Structure 1
Amino acid sequence: MSLSGDPLVRLTGLEISVRDAQGQDKIIVRDISLEVQPGEVLALIGESGSGKTTIALSMLGYTRGACRISDGTVEVAGHRLDSLPEARLQGLRGRVVSYVAQSAAAAFNPMLPIMRQVIEPALVHGLMTREAAEDKARGLFRALALPRPDTVGDRYPHQVSGGQLQRLMAAMALITDPALVIFDEPTTALDVTTQIEVLKAFKAVVRDLGTTAVYVSHDLAVVAQIADRICVLRDGMVQEQGRVEEILFHPRQDYTRALVAAAAARVPAAPMPDLPRDAGDPPLIQMRDVVAGYGGVDAQGNPQVRILDGVSFAIERGKVLGVIGESGSGKSTLARVVAGLHAPASGRVNLDGYTLEGEIRHRDKEQLRRVQLVFQNADTALNPAVSVGEAIGRPLTFFHALRGADRKAEVARLLDLVRLPAALAGRLPGELSGGQKQRVNLARALAARPDLLLCDEVTSALDPVVAEAVLDLLIDLRRELGLAYMFITHDIGIVRAIADEVMVLYGGVPVELASHEALEGPLHHPYTRLLMASVPELRPGWLEAANSAFSCGSTPGAGHAAGCRFFQRCAVSHPGLCDVLDPAVHVGAGQTIACHRGFDGLQATPGIAQGAIPA
């Protein structure tokens, strides 16, 4: 990093306003002054609605929706972006300054090959021939540690993993050798092990290319691994700026101290007491030996591509089952099967002892009401043309026949429940921050007044302070309403905070089922230990020290050959045993583990009992 000479980016007195429905201007970003030196990585940190993305987008000369730059200056690489006409700005975007979005899935066209999309900025700006652009793209694929860099560009977006798609989007941003790259929450939706892969790739390519970057994030632990300086934002204003070490270890402002404390918190919550139930009553929801997949079924009724392979679990009323695992482990498919959005090939799902139809169109309205799914990606779950109030109001009308003033009042109550102002009811999703959209997503599901909420990574897009508030809200709803959850996440800390029981999925099968108490114990399946060891720590240098030997790799499909699915990535595997025979299931106090070693073998293995994955 070079800190000599003039800054590459300079914001001076930046003010951004939004025009409300009454035509009045409201200032949402106020008096922002900051600089980014050539070769430096500046992180913008703050809770949802703090202005992080709005400020970052101003460095593209862009404002969302009814927003506009109402005062101040934005200079990037010698260009005054705040005063340029749109035609001139289009010539700079993607060439002088480029953007890596939070959701790669939403950024790529599913109908076009990846290579065609990655090289498009270079061709649009006339910087090189197609052949030269493709050669350069393949070089970037190698630099970003993508598998099969010479052919990955021939694939379509749905044929690569989420982590690979994020790195491909970075290649698209870097293809033009921009002066500035803006990374907007690029690892937020990734599981912990994939996040390590992507962060290491981003850090290496930024270092090797000498790239100047602005990194938008709510995750201080991630920022600690990649940034040189941090700018802390709240309510559209700068709270403090400083070197990473200064902000993490010597914060000056109370708000920054709260952010650091929330990021460092890993305190397990006490489990909820059992709700009264009659002896012999069935669980609220129960899955038995479910097999599910894609691509049609064979003569024996097995799917061509298995995603879930004989999964069983139960959730009692008012209880929380946490489901953790990497991308591709089957977590989201599990939720979709329970919700009726994906019919199982075999097995069954029971609600209060009654078997639910596999397809949602065959379930009655009461069954639909009682089981609600909160989707992972609020950007795709919410219709961009439908207002917040209408999105929340539709289930109120469908399930409870609410209309007019009654519906409007209930929409306002639900918004307040998820810590959003009632005034947002008139806004469109595109006018909200990522965290606000996710809370609208949650409010829409709560509108049905369900018994079971299927939460698919609902806090992954939220900053630690807001995520903590949402978790507190979910815990309160359990107490008040007896609401049960299947809580899907890749965050071990969240599982500890909310779950009564945890199921760890790998390759479509549960490798561990642990009670809240057992999760805090010393013995776990080697894969569970890997997930625990992959959570970034709140200190610079952790990323370089992270054991990459077991933190990367792909999750195998459930239709694998015989043997343990985790064999190739396991630090304590037995060749000739683990790769040949399916692991036996061992049952202990509040804990079930599918591992050839069993509890005694794991206890005797150096490092495993203490929670370390040996290199």
Structure 2
Amino acid sequence: MKPLVQVQGLRVVARNDDGVEFPIVKGVDFAINQGEVLALIGESGSGKTTIALSLMGYARQGCRIAGGSVRVGELQVLELNQDGLSSLRGRTVAYIAQSASSAFNPSKTLMDQVVESAAIHHTMPRAQAEAKAVELFRALALPDPERLGSRYPHQVSGGQLQRVMAAMAFITDPALVILDEPTTALDVTTQIEVLRAFKDVVRQLGTTAVYVSHDLAVVAQMADRIVVLRDGEIREDGATTQVLEAPAHDYTRSLLAAAEPVVRDIGIEIPELTRSAPPLLDIRGLTAGYGPVGRDGLPSKRILTDINLTIARGATVGVIGESGSGKTTLARVVAGMVPIARGQVLLDGAALPSCDQGRTREMHQRVQFVFQNADTSLNPAHTIGAILARPLAFYHGLKGEARRKRVLALLDLVRLPAAIANRLPGELSGGQKQRINLARALAAEPDLILCDEITSALDTVVAAAILDLMAELRRELKVSYMFISHDISTVRAICDEIVVLYAGSKVEARPREALGEAPFHPYSHLLISSVPKLEQGWLDGVCARGATRLPALGSAPGADADAGPLCTFLSRCSLRVDGLCTHKAPPRQRLANGGEILCHHTPAVLVQMQSPLHRFEEEVA
């Protein structure tokens, strides 16, 4: 049977500032059969997205398709003129981007944007397109499908918007759909919802698709075949089962190894630190939020409620939870960006002022923030040397040669060459930018660094390198971290203690070595169960080791945030006891492993209920 898509000898070149062209895709060949899902995987810069975009006859600014052929059905894509390409895009080949939030027009309703492609290509009347959109909303498990289209992009969650973008792609019944890292920035439970919806629709429609990702566990659930890329060349091309279970290339084996979480040896004995000194950071009864403050002194939009947390000097505490759980707000309160409504934040036993205006330069110097998006947190007009020089001058008064030498020392500290100092942020890779973010925080010589989802948008190899660097800096400099993430595997790899937030409440805390041990809070159980496993069939709840089926995901975090003293997880909890959980606030119970849990169920009961997951976690470990 003739393949639906045939790529032969594809070459793409890029142009540097001097106008000199260099290859970034080097003679790639592959084919995709009708109804097949092909995954393109590899590190950042491997050419995944460049190749996927070439299937639409498109090359990004500064790049050019220099040779080869791309056939989709009977169309020779690279031979089409501009009118032909316009007819191809959105009709024959559709594209689902990584960031749905930046792909939608905020001034138009969702329905107007979903049916736009059908109107442009004249595939059906407006009324028929709207009816089909509603059916797609229903197939993609979107809430209230009949009325969803009347909403605007800001009125739905990120995971819902990602699925609306899929409806936009499927509305014209394209021959080929490109999914470009569509779940990378989503938290684990939202990712599972989106993956389930995508897989169901692909199955129902018999869609031919290209799935671009660096996450092998996700690819294992979606793809029939995998093409492994590095430096613009194919290193391996095979069935998903073969690539995952018997990889033929050393690079594929390295990607598989990087996909497994590695617990870093920190080399610091935290108990010794806690006995000899008070905690570096001590958060007591913290309540905070946004909006006008009422007579009770509380903000109109409460995000955090009664949070207690400590970080020892030299320790790393991970804070996990879904989007909307309050993780970033917690870090912003510590940094002074969000005021304290109630409670205290103490640094070395001294209370920090509620917000930024009351804090001294020394307080700011001791607590530094590394933001999630390296692209937006580095000034694109300044060189790396100038970016690193600024905190050296501000906090330490360094000038001239002394400042230049310290800039070079910081680059060496984060394992980057000295030549980087003369470059602009736009000339660096994502991993390099995140290292510069770390170096800028280290320039202040802080005691505590607040890391907000700093590896969430990085591929597994680059993320692993960043985690190794953080562990090394911690050993060398005795710096402490608050490490915020929605990825429980990443937190397990680097943190001494893990704190779980849900809808602004601290529902669980436990030491890292006890992370895989029941009992779990029901919400922690959901998070752990939602981390994709590197095995085919896992998404369907059929694991080779007999793992439990995934729990129902239910509503979004924060749905019960206004539940008063009751459990904030009440409406999503599969273990709730009506008459108890619905009438009384849960107690905070100490666990034998040194952790704590906010739940009515006793630890013994939770162990019994969660034992299948416990056995599975032991087998995986």
TM-score (normalised: structure 1): 0.90
Query: Is the counterpart of residue 602 in structure 1 residue 606 in structure 2?
Result: yes
Give the structure 1 partner of residue 587 of structure 2. Answer: 584
- Whether contact under 8 Å (1:113, 1:154) holds in the other structure is yes
When residues 89 and 414 of structure 1 are mapped into structure 2, their CA distance, relative to the original with a 3 A threshold, is farther
Q: Pick from 123, 138, 161: which aligns with 2:119?
A: 123
Give the structure 2 partner of residue 202 of structure 1. Answer: 198
Q: Pick from 537, 553, 557: which aligns with 1:551?
A: 553
Query: Is the counterpart of residue 95 in structure 1 residue 91 in structure 2?
Result: yes
- Whether contact under 8 Å (1:562, 1:580) holds in the other structure is no
Query: Is the counterpart of residue 51 in structure 1 residue 55 in structure 2?
Result: no
Q: Pick from 564, 576, 582: which aligns with 1:573?
A: 576
- Whether contact under 8 Å (2:530, 2:550) holds in the other structure is no
Distance 1:419 1:460 in 2: 20
- Whether contact under 8 Å (1:10, 1:76) holds in the other structure is yes
Q: What amino acid sits opposite 1:551 in the alignment?
A: L
How far is the alpha carbon of 1:178 from its aligned partner?
2.2
* 3-state secondary structure, aligned to 2:143: coil
Distance 1:501 1:186 in 2: 31
Q: What amino acid sits opposite 1:353 in the alignment?
A: G
Distance 2:78 2:385 in 1: 33
- Whether contact under 8 Å (1:43, 1:217) holds in the other structure is yes
Distance 1:433 1:131 in 2: 46
Q: 1:34-433, aligned counterparts within 5 Å? A: 34-86=30-82, 88-265=84-261, 267=263, 269=265, 272-274=268-270, 281-382=277-378, 394-396=390-392, 398-400=394-396, 414=410, 417-418=413-414
CA RMSD, 1 decimal? 3.0
Judge which range, 187-196 or 430-439, deviates more: 430-439
Q: What amino acid sits opposite 1:11 in the alignment?
A: V
When residues 353 and 595 of structure 1 are mapped into structure 2, their CA distance, relative to the original with a 3 A threshold, is same
Distance 2:415 2:78 in 1: 33
Q: Pick from 557, 560, 565: which aligns with 2:563?
A: 560
Q: What amino acid sits opposite 1:347 in the alignment?
A: G
Query: Is the counterpart of residue 593 in structure 1 residue 597 in structure 2?
Result: yes
Distance 2:420 2:69 in 1: 29
- Whether contact under 8 Å (2:560, 2:570) holds in the other structure is no
How far is the alpha carbon of 1:511 from its aligned partner?
0.9
- Whether contact under 8 Å (1:272, 1:500) holds in the other structure is no
Q: Pick from 532, 536, 548: which aligns with 2:532?
A: 536
Q: What amino acid sits opposite 2:38 in the alignment?
A: L
* 3-state secondary structure, aligned to 1:95: coil
When residues 409 and 133 of structure 1 are mapped into structure 2, their CA distance, relative to the original with a 3 A threshold, is farther
Distance 1:565 1:491 in 2: 21
How far is the alpha carbon of 1:139 from its aligned partner?
1.8
When residues 242 and 422 of structure 1 are mapped into structure 2, their CA distance, relative to the original with a 3 A threshold, is farther
How far is the alpha carbon of 1:33 from its aligned partner?
1.2
When residues 278 and 419 of structure 1 are mapped into structure 2, their CA distance, relative to the original with a 3 A threshold, is closer
Residue ranges of structure 1 left out of the alignment (5+ in a row): none
How far is the alpha carbon of 1:187 from its aligned partner?
0.9
- Whether contact under 8 Å (2:516, 2:614) holds in the other structure is no
Judge which range, 246-255 or 32-41, deviates more: 32-41
* 3-state secondary structure, aligned to 1:132: helix
- Whether contact under 8 Å (1:47, 1:463) holds in the other structure is yes
Q: Pick from 517, 522, 525: which aligns with 1:526?
A: 522
Q: What amino acid sits opposite 1:572 in the alignment?
A: L
How far is the alpha carbon of 1:158 from its aligned partner?
2.7
Judge which range, 208-217 or 587-596, deviates more: 587-596
Q: 1:441-480, aligned counterparts within 5 Å? A: 441-480=437-476
Query: Is the counterpart of residue 17 in structure 1 residue 13 in structure 2?
Result: yes
Q: What amino acid sits opposite 1:492 in the alignment?
A: I
Judge which range, 439-448 or 326-335, deviates more: 439-448
Q: What amino acid sits opposite 2:331 in the alignment?
A: A
- Whether contact under 8 Å (2:560, 2:569) holds in the other structure is no
How far is the alpha carbon of 1:224 from its aligned partner?
0.4
Distance 1:11 1:144 in 2: 30
* 3-state secondary structure, aligned to 2:236: strand
Judge which range, 268-277 or 337-346, deviates more: 268-277
- Whether contact under 8 Å (1:309, 1:558) holds in the other structure is no
Give the structure 1 partner of residue 545 of structure 2. Answer: none
- Whether contact under 8 Å (1:294, 1:306) holds in the other structure is yes
- Whether contact under 8 Å (1:64, 1:431) holds in the other structure is no
Distance 2:149 2:253 in 1: 44
* 3-state secondary structure, aligned to 1:455: strand
* 3-state secondary structure, aligned to 1:607: helix
Judge which range, 144-153 or 526-535, deviates more: 526-535
Count matched residues: 609
- Whether contact under 8 Å (1:563, 1:577) holds in the other structure is no
- Whether contact under 8 Å (1:269, 1:496) holds in the other structure is no
How far is the alpha carbon of 1:249 from its aligned partner?
0.4
* 3-state secondary structure, aligned to 2:252: helix
Q: What amino acid sits opposite 2:590 in the alignment?
A: V
Distance 1:390 1:136 in 2: 53
How far is the alpha carbon of 1:559 from its aligned partner?
2.1
* 3-state secondary structure, aligned to 1:10: strand
Per-residue CA deviations over 1:112-156 (Å, capped at 9, x if unaligned) read: 433333333333444444433332222211111011112222223
Distance 1:429 1:270 in 2: 30
Distance 2:218 2:46 in 1: 18
What's the % identity of the aligned pairs? 55
Give the structure 2 partner of residue 503 of structure 1. Answer: 499
Distance 1:578 1:251 in 2: 49
- Whether contact under 8 Å (1:194, 1:552) holds in the other structure is no
Q: What amino acid sits opposite 2:571 in the alignment?
A: Q
When residues 224 and 96 of structure 1 are mapped into structure 2, their CA distance, relative to the original with a 3 A threshold, is same
* 3-state secondary structure, aligned to 1:151: helix
TM-score (normalised: structure 2): 0.89
How far is the alpha carbon of 1:229 from its aligned partner?
0.4
How far is the alpha carbon of 1:520 from its aligned partner?
4.3
Distance 1:268 1:158 in 2: 39
How far is the alpha carbon of 1:202 from its aligned partner?
0.4
- Whether contact under 8 Å (2:261, 2:493) holds in the other structure is no
Distance 1:90 1:408 in 2: 51
Q: What amino acid sits opposite 2:576 in the alignment?
A: S
Distance 2:412 2:164 in 1: 39
When residues 110 and 29 of structure 1 are mapped into structure 2, their CA distance, relative to the original with a 3 A threshold, is same
Distance 1:174 1:405 in 2: 59
Q: What amino acid sits opposite 2:566 in the alignment?
A: G
Distance 2:145 2:212 in 1: 27
When residues 579 and 391 of structure 1 are mapped into structure 2, their CA distance, relative to the original with a 3 A threshold, is farther
Per-residue CA deviations over 1:302-361 (Å, capped at 9, x if unaligned) read: 232322111111112221011111222111221222222222322232223333333334
Give the structure 1 partner of residue 546 of structure 2. Answer: none
When residues 238 and 388 of structure 1 are mapped into structure 2, their CA distance, relative to the original with a 3 A threshold, is farther
When residues 120 and 509 of structure 1 are mapped into structure 2, their CA distance, relative to the original with a 3 A threshold, is same
- Whether contact under 8 Å (1:44, 1:231) holds in the other structure is yes
